A = this chain, B = another copy of it.
């Protein structure tokens, strides 16, 4: 498959992840996460979760929470490296801007998510996001 198509498909898989997140659609979220690869999820401010069961349990909690904040993804950028694809993007979560790494593996011809880490984005990113959001938080460089 041409590399451009691989990248487009990785970006589409990433969009599907945030669509499921925003729509609080646990069924879609379960389809998006890989079955065969070890799933790891590092939600911001959580301890890392290892294994599909723990990861899906976390999503069941997040997506069923009526107080869960709205989320959308901006400025996604995909990199394909053979058997895996990485998407780095910003997440606009109400007044916070986060930066996320999403790692996808091929399963039956489809990119499926096996790793997610999100954490506070930089002040610069937050400033960029301000144009697209209602506001933003600042964070500091830790090293």
- Interface residues, chain A, CB within 8 Å of chain B? 37-38, 40, 42-48, 50, 62, 68-69, 71, 77, 79, 81-84, 86, 88, 93, 96, 98-99, 101, 103, 105, 114-115, 117-125, 139-143
Q: Is the CB of B81 within 8 A of A45?
A: no
Q: How far is the CB of A72 from chain B (nearest CB, A)?
A: 12
Q: Is the CB of B93 within 8 A of A142?
A: yes
**Complex contacts, A62 vs chain B, CB 8 Å:** 143
Given the interface pairs A45-B123, A47-B124, A119-B44, the reply to whether A81 lies near B142 with Cβ below 8 Å is no
Given the interface pairs A117-B119, A122-B47, the reply to whether A40 lies near B88 with Cβ below 8 Å is yes
Give the 9 A-B CB pairs with smallest separation, nearest first.
A119-B119, A45-B141, A44-B142, A38-B79, A45-B139, A101-B117, A48-B88, A47-B122, A83-B83
Q: In whole angstroms, how far apart are the Cα atoms of A141 and B65 in the complex?
A: 13
| Pick from B46, B48, B114: contact of A141, CB under 8 Å | B46
Which of chain B's residues has its CB closest to A125's CB?
B47
